[in-house]
Homo-oligomer: A and B are copies of this chain.
Amino acid sequence: MTEPKLTKVDMEKIVSLCRRRGFIFPSSEIYGGLSSCWDYGPLGVELKRNIKESWWRAMVQERDDMVGLDSSILMHPQVWEASGHLKGFSDPLVECKQCHRRWRSDEMKDSSCPSCGGGLTESRMFNLMFKTFMGPVEEEADIVYLRPETAQGIFVNFENALNTSRKRLPFGIAQIGKAFRNEITTGNFIFRSREFEQMEMEYFVKPGTDGEWFDYWVKERLNWYANLGIKKENLRLHQHAKDELAHYAVKCYDIDYLFPMGWAELEGIANRGNFDLIQHANSSGKNMDYFDEETKEHFSPLIIEPSAGVDRSALAFLCDAYDEEPDKDEIRVVLRLHPSLAPIKAAILPLSRKETLAPLSKQIYADLRQCWMVGYDDAQSIGRRYRRQDEIGTPFCVTIDFQSLEDEQVTIRERDTMRQIRVPIKELQSTLASKLSGEDLFILPLGGKIWKEG
C-alpha cells in the first residue's frame, strides 16, 4: 500500500495558501504590486493581531517590571544623528552600467551583473533610511526620516517612562510599531520587506547584572516561541562573533528559525551596554542617568534588547504550522496553529443548508461572536468545509445537525485529531473556552503536534 506523497513545506505553498485564503496579498496588487510591501487580508490581520497580543500579554500585562510605549514613526532628525544611523546605517551599493539594476556589493560573488552580465559601477554607501520633508517646503532643514527601528523611540523616552511610572531598575519598556528600511535587495515573501512591524523591548539594568539578564531574556524569548507551538528543532541560537557585532553591541544572540529558505534570524537579543542612553544624553544635553535610592549612586543603566519582527514571526508560525497528511486517498492540508494564534477560533457548520437548521445555527454563531472571532460556512459538503477550516487553522468546528433540534446538542470536531465529541449547546461556550485555553485536553492527542509541546 502506497501512501499519498507528502512534500516538505516550501515557500511557494505558503505564499499560495496566504494569497488564496486571504492571509497576505501583494500591496496595491491591482496596480501590479509595490515591490516588497504586503497587505494582510481578513485572516492575516487576525493572525497578526493575535501575535502582537500574545507578545504584549507576555511582555507587559503579565509582568510587574514592564511598561508599554507607542512613540511616533517620525522623530527629530537629531535622534538619528545621536544613534549613529545617519552616518552608519548603510549598505554598499553597485549599479549595473548596462541594465541599471542595483545590487548590494557585499552580497555579490563576482564583478558582473547577476541579471544581464553587464559591468558594475564602483561601490558606494547607501543609507537605508527613508527620508521625507516635514512642513510645506522641501528644504534641507525640514528633512525627517521614517524610523528604521522602534528602539530609539524607547531610549529618548527613558526618563519620561521612568518618572511617570515610578519604576525602579531593573525594568523594561516595550513597544510594537512599524519601521521602514529602504533595503537594496528584499525578498523571501514577508521575511524582508521595506515596511515591517517590530516588537521591541529595552530592559534597563544595573551595571554588573547585565550578563544574567541577557541569559534570562534569551531563555524567556525562546520559550515564547516554543510555548506558541514552534517546534524546538526548528529554533536555534546563533551567537554573533566579534566581527559580526553591531557597533553598539557588547554581545548578541540571534534566535534563528528554519525557514523554507534555510536558517534565518527571527529575533535578535543584544546587550547594548550603555551606548544608547549616553549617546542621547550627550547629544541632547539632558541628564539621562539613573539615581539608585538605595546606594545613592548615579549611573547610566545597561540595556538588554530583545527585538522581534511581527511579520517574520507570522511567517515562522505559518511555516511551522503547515502540515500535510494522508487522509484516505487524498492529502489533508492543515495549519496546526496554536489556538491563541488561530485567526478563527471556531466555525459554525450547519449540516445542511435547509432552513430548519439556520435559526439555531445563526443563534449559536451570534452568541459565540461575543467571545471570539468565529466563522460560519454552509456551502458544499461537510467534508469540504472541514478541509477549508483545517487549511486556515481553525481549531474547532461546531456542527449543527437535525438531531440538534431534538436533543439540544452539537458536535465539536477538533482540527488536529479530527476527533468529535457531542456537547449540550448550553455548555458549548464553556467547553470551547477551556479547550482554547488548553485546560481541557480531553480530545487532544497526547504528545501530539499541538500547543502543549513547548
Q: Which residues of A are in contact with B by a Cβ distance under 8 Å?
A: 20-22, 25, 27-35, 37-46, 48-49, 56, 60-64, 67-76, 78-79, 93, 102, 126, 130-137, 144, 146, 153, 156-157, 159-161, 164-166, 173, 175, 178, 180, 182, 184, 194-195, 280, 283-284, 286, 288, 365-366, 369-370, 372-373, 376, 379
Contact = CB atoms under 8 A, between A and B. Distances in A.
Nearest to A159: B30
A437 to B, nearest CB: 11
B146 A27 contact: no
B376 A156 contact: no
Contacts of A132: 130-132, 146
A114 to B, nearest CB: 16
Contacts of A42: 67-69, 161, 164-165, 173
A93 B144 CA distance: 21
Contact of A369 (B49, B64, B72, B373): B64
Interface of A is mostly: mixed
A177 to B, nearest CB: 9
A157 B39 contact: yes
A64 to B, nearest CB: 7
A130 B67 CA distance: 32
Given A31-B283, A45-B175, 10 more contacts: A22-B164, A25-B160, A28-B76, A29-B156, A29-B157, A39-B153, A39-B157, A40-B71, A41-B67, A136-B182
Nearest to A137: B102
B195 A34 contact: no
B72 A27 contact: yes
Contacts of A44: 70
A97 to B, nearest CB: 14
Contact of A34 (B72, B365, B372, B376): B72
A64 B370 CA distance: 11
A146 B46 CA distance: 24
B369 A30 contact: no
Contacts of A373: 60-61
Contacts of A29: 156-157, 160
